[in-house]
Amino acid sequence: MSISLSRIPEFDGAADILSDDALAFIEKLHQKFAGTRNELLAARDVRRKQFSDAKAIDFDPATEEVRNGDWKVAEAPAALQDRRVEITGPATPAKMAINALNSGAKVWLADLEDASTPSWNNVIDAVKNLSDAARGKLAFTDEKTGKSYALRTDAPLATVVVRPRGWHLPENNVLIDGKPGVGALVDFGLHFFHNAKVLAESGQGPFYYLPKMEHYLEVRLWNEVFTFAQAELGIEYGTVRATMLIETIPAAFQMDEFLYELRDHVSGLNAGRWDYLFSIIKTFREAGDAFIMPDRADVSMTAPMMRAYTELLVKTCHKRGAFAMGGMAAFIPNRREPEVTAAAFEKVRADKTREANDGFDGSWVAHPDLVGTCMEVFDSVLGSKPNQLDKQRPEVEVTAEQLLDIASAPGSVTEAGVRLNLYVAVAYTAVWLSGNGAVAIHNLMEDAATAEISRSQIWQQIRNKVVAADTGNTITAELVASILDEEVEKLRGEVNDAERFAKYYEPAATLIGTLVSGRDEDFADFLTTGAYELLEKEYVTKP
C-alpha cells in the first residue's frame, strides 16, 4: 500500500501537517481499517432496504444480553466532567476557532462534519488551527477587517472535542494506491498524530465526537482505530474519549450496543436531532404514508417520536454512567436585529429547559451569543453539581413503535414547505461549494444535516404522491421543477452577482434538482457526496 497527495495546500504550516511521518501514520490507518470501513458502508444499503420493506426496525435479539447486562462505561476524565454548554462550529477560519474557544462554553465541538466544507484547504487549515490551539498559540488577524484575535487568558478556554467526518466521505486529496482515502481516517489521523501527546499530557484529550453511525460494528471499528492509534504513538489505553451522535434511526435501536462497544473510550451520547430526522426520511423514503414527515418547520422536539428518542437516550446514558448531551436548536441571534435575537433567546431557552429537566448533562449552541442562555438554564438545574449523571430514569419505557411513530407528529406537508425546502437546499449547497459549511438563512442555522432534511423530504413527497395541505396540489416532479425554477430566479436576484451565481448557485440548483426527483436512481445517500465531487472537480483541483 502506498500513500500520495494530490497537492499540499499553499499556506504556512500546511507542509508540516502533511509531514512524511504523519502520512505514514495515515497510511497505516488505511492499511488496517479502510477495508472494514468499505464493508460496513456496503452493509448499510442492505439493511436500509430491509427496514424499508418491513416498514419497521426492531431491537436486535442477538444483542439482548448487552441491553440487559449490568455494565458501565469508564468514568469520564476531569476535563469532560462539566459539559453543560457546548458550542459547535468549524475550525477554520482561525477566527471562528478562537471565538469558540473564548466563548465561555465548557466545550467546543470543532467540526469537520456538518458545519464544514471539506475542501482540502479547509481540512488542513482546521488541523493546523487545532494543533496551534492545543499548544496555546492560536492567533489570527482578519485581513478584511484588520481585527486581531487571540486566545483569552482571563478565563478558561473551552475544552476541544473534534468531530471528524463520518465514515461515508472520501478524501480525494489523499490517495491510497491511487484511490481516494477515507475522510474520517484522514481527519482523525492528522489530528491525533499531531496532538495526542500534547493533549494527553495536559489532561485535555484527545477527545472526539463521532457522527452518523448506523450500526454498532461501525462503533467497534472506531474503537479499534483508537486502540491502535494509542498503542502506535505510546499513549495510554483509554486516554481517547469520544461522544457518539445518535443521529440515525438504526442507531436509536442500539444505544446500549454503541456504549458497550466503546466502553473504555466513550464519554457519552448526543441527540443529533437534524441528521436523525434526515435518517428517518432516508430510511423509510418509499415506505408509504405512515412515514411521511410534516414540513420541516413543523417537526419539533415535542413530537411523540422525538420525545421517545431523547427520553431513551437520557435513560440509557445514565444507566451506563455516560453523559447525555442535548442537540441543536437552529434559532440563531442576529446582532443587527434585536427582535430576532430576543426570539432566538426565548426559543433556545425553551429547548434547553426541556433538555435540562429531562436529565441531559449539557447541550449545544450554534453561536457565542447563545452560550449565556444555555449556561443559565443548566446552572439552575445542575446547581453545584457538574452534571446530572445521578439522575436515573427508570420510569422511561420506549418501544420500537414509539420511535417509529412518525404519523402522529403534528403538522402537515404544504407547497409553501416545498418551496422553502428548495430555497434552503439550493442556497445552502451554494454556500457549501463556496467553502462555508454553515450559514444563517432566515435566521436559522443551516448546515449539512438541516439541508439533508430539505432535499430528502421533497423526494419522499414526490415518490409518495403527497397532497399539499395548503393548495390541494399533488406534489409531483413537474410541480417541484417549476417551483425550483422560481426559487432559483429569486436567489439570482438576491445574490445579484452573475459570476458568483454561475459558479456556485447554478451547479447547486442542478444538483438539488436531481436529488429531489423522486426516482430511485437519483436519491443519494448524502448530499455532501455529490457536492464533494463538484467541489473537487470545479473549485479546488482546477487551476
Ligand X SMILES: CC(=O)SCCNC(=O)CCNC(=O)[C@H](O)C(C)(C)COP(=O)(O)OP(=O)(O)OC[C@H]1O[C@@H](n2cnc3c(N)ncnc32)[C@H](O)[C@@H]1OP(=O)(O)O
Strand 3-5 to strand 170-176: parallel, antiparallel, or no bridges (unpaired)?
antiparallel
- Interaction of residue 295 with ligand LL5AMS7Z, rule CB under 6 A: no
87 binds, among ligand X, Mg ion, ligand LL5AMS7Z, none (CB under 5 to 8 A by kind): ligand X
Partner in contact with 335, chosen from ligand X, ligand LL5AMS7Z, Mg ion, none, beta carbon below 5 to 8 Å by kind: ligand X
Tell me 10's DSSP state: S
- 216 sits near ligand LL5AMS7Z (criterion: CB under 6 A): no
CB of 497 to ligand LL5AMS7Z, least distance (A): 31
Burial of 12 (0-12, 13-18, 19+ CB in 10 A): exposed
* 274 or 360: CB nearest ligand X: 274
Number of residues that bind ligand LL5AMS7Z (CB under 6 A): 10
Stretch in the footprint of ligand LL5AMS7Z (CB under 6 A) among 165-173, 269-277, 430-438, 504-512: 269-277
Q: Scan residues 309-328 and list those touching ligand LL5AMS7Z (CB under 6 A).
A: 327-328
Q: Indicate the residue among 245 and 287 with the shorter CB distance to ligand LL5AMS7Z.
A: 245
| Helix (H), strand (E) counts: the chain | 20, 15
Q: Which is nearer to ligand LL5AMS7Z, 199 or 328 (CB)?
A: 328
349 catalytic? Reply is no
- Whether residue 97 contacts residue 413, with contact meaning beta carbons closer than 8 Å, is answered with no
Residue 251 as a binder of ligand LL5AMS7Z (CB under 6 A): the answer is: no
Coil vs helix vs strand at 390: coil
> Which listed residue (84, 447, 455, 463) is catalytic?
447
Phi, psi of 179 (to 5 degrees): -110, 155
DSSP string, 49-66: HHHHHHT-----GGGHHH
Nearer to Mg ion, 185 or 277 (CB): 277
Identify whether the C-beta of residue 138 lies closer than 8 Å to the C-beta of residue 102.
Answer: no
Report the distance separating Cα 234 and Cα 208, nearest Å. Answer: 19
Q: How many CB atoms lie within 10 A of CB 319?
A: 18
Which of 163, 165, 285, 307 does the annotation list as catalytic?
163
Task: Pick between residue 212 and residue 285 the one whose CB is nearest to ligand LL5AMS7Z.
Answer: 212
To the nearest whole angstrom, how small is the minimum distance from the Cβ of residue 258 to ligand X?
Answer: 18
If one asks whether residue 171 binds ligand LL5AMS7Z (CB under 6 A), the answer comes out as no
Contacts of 53 (CB under 8 A, 6+ apart): none
Contact 510, 453 (CB under 8 A): no
Task: Determine the residue with CB nearest ligand X.
Answer: 89
Residues β-bridged to residue 440: 445
Where on the chain is the footprint of Mg ion (CB under 5 A)? 114, 247, 272, 275, 449
Is 447 assigned a catalytic role? yes
Buried b (16+ CB within 10 A) or exposed e, 403-418: bbbbeebebebbbebb
Name which of ligand LL5AMS7Z, ligand X, Mg ion, none residue 6 binds, using a CB cut-off of 5 to 8 Å depending on partner kind. none
Q: Compute the least distance from the CB of residue 450 to ligand LL5AMS7Z, in Å.
A: 8
Partners of residue 181 on adjacent β-strands = 171
How many C-beta atoms surround the C-beta of residue 471 within 10 A?
13
Q: Which residues are catalytic?
A: 163, 447
